[in-house]
A and B are shown apart, each in its own frame.
Chain A
Amino acid sequence: MTPVVQLKLAPAPSKYDFEGLLRSRGIDLPPLSIDTLQVNITKLCNQVCRHCHVDASPSRREMLSPEGVAKCLELLERHPQVTKLDITGGAPELHTGFDAFVEKAVALGKHVMVRHNLTVQLDGHPQTGESKEYLPQFFAKNRVEVISSLPYYQEYFTDAQRGPGVFKKSIEAMKRLNALGYGVEGSGLIFNLVYNPVGPYLPAAQASLEADYKRELKDKFGLVFNSLYTVTNMPINRFRQHLDKSGQYEAYMEKLLAAFNPAAAEGVMCRSMISVDHEGRIYDCDFNQMLELRAAGAGGKPLSIFDFDLDRVLGRRIRFDDHCLGCTAGAGSSCGGSTA
């Protein structure tokens, strides 16, 4: 009988080898600082957006534990150089400890940003039915920066990406924020919007799109906001599934590769932040978190907030992969918009 030999083939090198691209351009991207602690406190969300890289939905259960929240606060207290806390999800407001987390971080003097999806104000908690209509007042009281996705200033694109009815609810939620001064010049209450394309194409120039948003939202709905961040869709999770199903993955990756911009690469957000998941594990960014590409210090030991050491985190090598082309295409992309 002929023995069956299991051949272990090495994975084929990717056509979109990001690190190889950096090497060929002579670009090295070590971490520069950690000024932002971004924490994904829950994958639970009241929405199911078609492009969501978190795969967030009303059925998700992941929550950062009270011990994890306490460790994040301890990290913030011990490290004055970490000046910003960026709370994301899911809809982070659905985490039971959200309010206290915000209040304690504000008490530490940190700049707190919340990735607020707007509709949670009206939808409430998808599992318990708890109302979240208090959120605008809560945000204003704590003077947190509110950052909200609104993929377009029109209903068609917004609802196509985020679900039927989302645009109308988002407009109502924005009115409530504006009424408290959010986005109003001179109020000091910062309200930024996030645009991302509704399909496999690159964002338009941030400044011109911001002007369009400001004009259209003001003229049609009387709404104001501070800045628009343009963000590129990452070819991972739900958006990747769409690309695969529609046969557009290769074309999208080719587009990202062709639009590689060294200046955008220099400004990638992973050089100045870390991302923490609901288990306290540390990643270079939220995208790596969703791909479970854990950050590791010297010796390969995975990094965690439970044994946080700033020097070890700063000494890590950022983990890059194919999807990073999304952050370096065109004018660049980050949680704060374009980077070049």
Chain B
Amino acid sequence: MSNYYESEDLKKFGGIGQHAKQLADDFFKYYGNVIGTDGALSKREKALIALAVSHAQKCPYCIDAYTTQCLETGSNPEQMMEAVHVAAVMQAGITLVHSVQMQNHLKKMVL
């Protein structure tokens, strides 16, 4: 293997229970209940959120999986791209809002 991320490895996700089965079972049950069902949010809305989080967390496995999931729950490319922009703008905003801290400290440092 020449890369840390291999798309084929996504299939091995189910195998994370090899040394901690109960915890993995608990996780996958929770995962399925949250993502795989229509609740107060539809599966389509959840897939768009997951797509945005996938980008924010820079997870290539998740980006592939949730691009497909968005298509299979009926999202169109514009909606998917907007979800990524939500992730991007949140990250930019989070960076910029920290400048308030910088401004606060700057004030303390200036006579």
Contact = CB atoms under 8 A, between A and B. Distances in A.
A70 interface: no
Given A208-B44, A208-B74, A209-B74, 8 more contacts: A153-B76, A154-B76, A154-B77, A157-B76, A197-B71, A199-B71, A203-B72, A204-B71
Interface string B95-111: 00000000000000000
Given A201-B68, A208-B44, A152 B74 contact: no
A156 interface: yes
A205 B74 contact: yes
A257 to B, nearest CB: 13
A204 B68 contact: no
Contacts of B68: 201
Main secondary structure on chain B at its contact with chain A?
helix
Contact of A204 (B72, B77, B78): B72
B74 A212 contact: yes
Interface residues of A, number: 15
Contacts of B77: 154, 156-157
B76 A201 contact: no
B73 interface: yes
A202 interface: yes
A204 B76 contact: no
Contacts of B72: 197, 201-204
Contacts of A157: 76-77
A104 to B, nearest CB: 41
Interface in A178-218: 197, 199, 201-205, 208-209, 212
Contacts of A209: 74
A161 B8 CA distance: 27
Contacts, number: 28
A169 B73 CA distance: 27
Nearest to B42: A208
Interface of A: 152-154, 156-157, 197, 199, 201-205, 208-209, 212
The 4 closest A-B pairs by CB, nearest first: A204-B74, A209-B74, A202-B72, A201-B71
Name the residue among B42, B72, B73, B74 with the largest chain A CB count within 10 angstroms: B74
A156 B71 CA distance: 14
A201 B68 CA distance: 7
Name the residue among B44, B72, B73 with the largest chain A CB count within 10 angstroms: B72
Nearest to B67: A201
A199 to B, nearest CB: 8
B71 A152 contact: no
A212 B71 CA distance: 13
A208 B76 CA distance: 13
A307 B42 CA distance: 53
16 contacts: A152-B76, A153-B76, A154-B76, A154-B77, A154-B78, A157-B77, A199-B71, A202-B72, A203-B72, A204-B44, A204-B71, A204-B74, A205-B73, A205-B74, A208-B74, A212-B74
Contacts of A204: 44, 71-74
Contacts of A212: 74
Contacts of A201: 68, 71-72
A299 to B, nearest CB: 44
A202 B73 CA distance: 9
B53 to A, nearest CB: 20
A201 B73 CA distance: 10
A209 B42 CA distance: 13
B28 to A, nearest CB: 15
Contacts of A203: 72
A121 B6 CA distance: 48
Contacts of A197: 71-72
A296 to B, nearest CB: 37
A197 B44 CA distance: 16
Nearest to A204: B74
A122 B70 CA distance: 34
Nearest to A197: B71
Contacts of A205: 73-74
B14 to A, nearest CB: 11
Contacts of B78: 154
Contacts of B74: 204-205, 208-209, 212
